Amino acid sequence: MVTNRRLVPNDGPDFYKTPAWGTQALLDQPLAWLEPVECLIAVKMESLRKKLEAGDFKQDPVIGYTHARISFAVGSIQKRHGPVIELSMNEILKTKPHLIVWNEKKFEISEQALTLCRMNGEYKMGAQLEYGEMAEKRQVDLLCYFKDTQTLFAYEIKRANSKNDSGKESKMLQNMHLFHALLKSYGESRGLEIQEVGAKTIAYYGTLTLPPQYHLVPDQFNEHFRCDVTSELDQVDGLYAKAAQLLLGAF
């Protein structure tokens, strides 16, 4: 049962100032971590609204302008949901006292690690390599250090509402191996004491065919992170769905 209303700010991006968005977001309780997530939703939806108003999308000669606009809007809403999921998971987990949480936009991958992948396809998850000799950079969407067990996990976050082709899943699997091999040295370079490391792909909606040891699906989130994550993620989904429905209803 909804017991509180959290007002959408009036001094944020244009999204908040547009009449269509001038509604109250209904939440079970105010969430301290929510403000940056709300702002990101606002920015994503406002940029999409402007594109739709300007006709800034590729029209289809078969389905016509109106249906092409709807198709573009739906696809864009799904695509923009990914960064919202990523930010939400980071902000939620930062509030948990047993975790240290951050992300790494430029995780350095060494030539040695890449060579092992090329030679072996996939190397054993027990391999540990030195971090810092960069051949290329890859993004780690989420890093969690469990203080009591001194365990560091790296995560790639995917919306995972439909199946990926084999090429994309092969790249995800390679990332898991690369992150795992370099993670212990990386964590120690940040001054952390590391006993164990792990790497997983978070399949937000659960549609992923990686081997089970390499991914997390929704019914595993709470147990893995050792706290309630799913109920707060449900709140974000509700807000994003409301914003999406408002936008689609306006067009």
Report pLDDT digits (tens) over 68-120: 888 999 999 999 999 999 999 999 999 999 999 999 999 999 998 888 877 65
Task: Convert the pLDDT of each residue in 3-58 to its tens digit.
Answer: 222 323 333 444 444 434 433 344 455 566 788 888 888 889 889 989 988 888 88
Task: Look at residue 178 in the predicted model and tell me its pLDDT.
Answer: 92
CB atoms within 10 A of CB 73: 20
Task: Look at residue 119 in the predicted model and tell me its pLDDT.
Answer: 65
Task: Look at residue 13 in the predicted model and tell me its pLDDT.
Answer: 42
The H or E element spanning position 138 is: strand 136-146
What are the Cα distances from residue 227, in Å, to 93, 103, 181? 9, 19, 27
Domain boundaries, the chain: 4-93+233-250, 97-226
Confidence (pTM): 0.84
Q: Which two tokens stand for residue 124?
A: 């054993």
Contact 214, 176 (CB under 8 A): yes
Pairing of strands 196-203, 215-216: parallel
pLDDT band at 202 (very low <50, low <70, confident <90, very high): very high
244: alpha, beta or left, given left = phi > 0 and alpha = psi -120 to 50?
alpha
Task: Look at residue 120 in the predicted model and tell me its pLDDT.
Answer: 58
